[in-house]
Amino acid sequence: MHSGGVIEKQLPVSIANTDLKRSCCPIDSSNSRTERPVSIQMASDFRLKEQLPRLTDAIVKTYNARDRINHLGHCPLPKYEVIVNILEDFKDLLYPGFRRREGLHSGNVTYHVGNLVDSLHDRLTTQIARALLHADKVEGKSAGFNPCDHAIDYEAKGQTIAIALLERIPQLREVLAKDVEAAYDGDPSVSNRDEIIFCFPGLEAVTIYRIAHELVHFAVPFIPRMMTEWAHKQTGIDIHPGARIGESFFIDHGTGVVIGETCDIGEHVKIYQGVTLGALSFATDVDGQLIRGSKRHPTIEDRVVIYANATILGGKTIVGHDSVIGSSVWVTNSVAPHTTVVLEKPKLRIRNGRNDELGHDSNYQI
């Protein structure tokens, strides 16, 4: 109820071990979880809410046909939460027993996998169909017809791709097993392979990348990037789903790693935290618009090691096989095979008491 512009609400609260219950509510020691209403007064003036319809109209007026950051219509988009759940189910298939489902054994694993595959088929079909439909709409491929009127056609395409992706799971498991082995061989801090599957953010990011890259291979829009950007948020590792990465790939530590769309990475490559495999510059057309689809990111050949915070840029840059790129270097030219690239040893300047070679006027602030 409200009185004199003050809104009063009755909120049920638990009175188990809180300062609030000690200060305002007596404790019934016979039942420490008893809920009792607590009266909370809010200093809101309900009369000010009269302007909310005007604010609503002002917001809605910005939703016009030229607005590129809204989607109004009856064609549903791929759903982010569903895509994340699809990834979790994929990880249950790729690493059975290590993720959500416990108690798997030879007597129930077929039933478990069958349920997951059936559910993934249905959700992938729907989400891929939505992505294909929306891509045709935004890219102008649906001129002369409404793609929403042809949803059944997109559903059929979505199902074909969904089944093709599910058929790739055995091959994905083989590749990921080699990634796990590369991590075990490359990190002396781990005592067994299970620790890698449980704990390593690099394996998490690479797992999701490999699923997303399969969808790129099948020309599915939106969803691959949704997947890898979710992994980016979870792990701090940014791998574009379009990059091509060979087997036995290991990202150690991982935070801050960036791998661009047109990177080509060979087999048995190991990189550390903070490594950037990026573009040197972006080509533009006569109108100043970016030219998309060109090779912008480096090629890393087999058995290369790239240490922390190294930056390698450019589509013409090739790091030859069996090379080592040292920490914090900046590479924009190709490196021959069997080459080690390191910075010259830096000179340290140390301030000690009054013997300050840097001068008393130095001011260091962060």
Q: What is the pLDDT of residues 299-323, one digit of tens each?
A: 999 999 999 999 999 999 999 999 9
Q: Where are the domains of the chain?
A: 2-49, 74-242, 248-345
> CA–CA separation, 225 vs 266, rounded Å?
22
Highest mean pLDDT among 44-53, 229-238, 342-351 belongs to 229-238
Output DSSP code: residue 77: P
To the nearest 10°, the Cα dihedral for 348, 350, 355, 360? 100
Per the CB < 8 A criterion, the answer to whether 299 and 314 are in contact is no
pLDDT at 3 over 50: no
Burial of 181 (0-12, 13-18, 19+ CB in 10 A): middle
- What is the pTM for the complete model shown? 0.82
Per the listing, tokens 């404790």 go with 27
Percent of the chain scoring above 70 in pLDDT: 83
Cα 235 from chain centroid (whole Å): 7
Kindly indicate the confidence band of residue 20, based on its pLDDT and cuts at 50, 70 and 90. Answer: very low
Q: What is the pLDDT of residue 116?
A: 96
To the nearest 10°, the Cα dihedral for 228, 120, 210, 99? 90
Lowest mean pLDDT among 34-38, 209-213, 288-292: 34-38
Closest CA to 131 of 87, 68, 71: 71
Q: What is the pLDDT of residue 112?
A: 93
| Tokens read off for 353 | 């008491």
Backbone angles phi, psi at 275, to 5 degrees: -75, 135
Q: What is the pLDDT of residue 362?
A: 52
Kindly indicate the confidence band of residue 74, based on its pLDDT and cuts at 50, 70 and 90. Answer: confident
Closest CA to 273 of 213, 227, 205, 339: 205
**How far does the chain reach from its first CA to its final CA, in angstroms?**
51
Mean pLDDT of 102-107: 86
Parallel, antiparallel, or unpaired: how do β-strands 299-300 and 305-306 relate?
A: unpaired
Q: What is the pLDDT of residue 169?
A: 98
Output DSSP code: residue 305: E
pLDDT digits (tens, 9 = 90+) for 195-225: 999 999 999 999 999 999 999 999 999 999 9
Per the listing, tokens 């992505």 go with 131
Highest mean pLDDT among 40-44, 150-154, 248-252, 353-357 belongs to 248-252
| Tokens read off for 104 | 């798997």
| Tokens read off for 343 | 């910075």
Q: What is the number of residues in the chain?
A: 366
Instruction: Name the CATH superfamily, with its identifier, for domain 74-242.
Output: serine acetyltransferase, domain 1 (1.10.3130.10)
pLDDT digits (tens, 9 = 90+) for 254-266: 999 999 999 999 9
Architecture (CATH level 2) of domain 248-345: 3 Solenoid (2.160)
> CA–CA separation, 94 vs 207, rounded Å?
9
Kindly indicate the confidence band of residue 111, based on its pLDDT and cuts at 50, 70 and 90. Answer: very high
To the nearest 10°, the Cα dihedral for 331, 333, 334, 337? -50
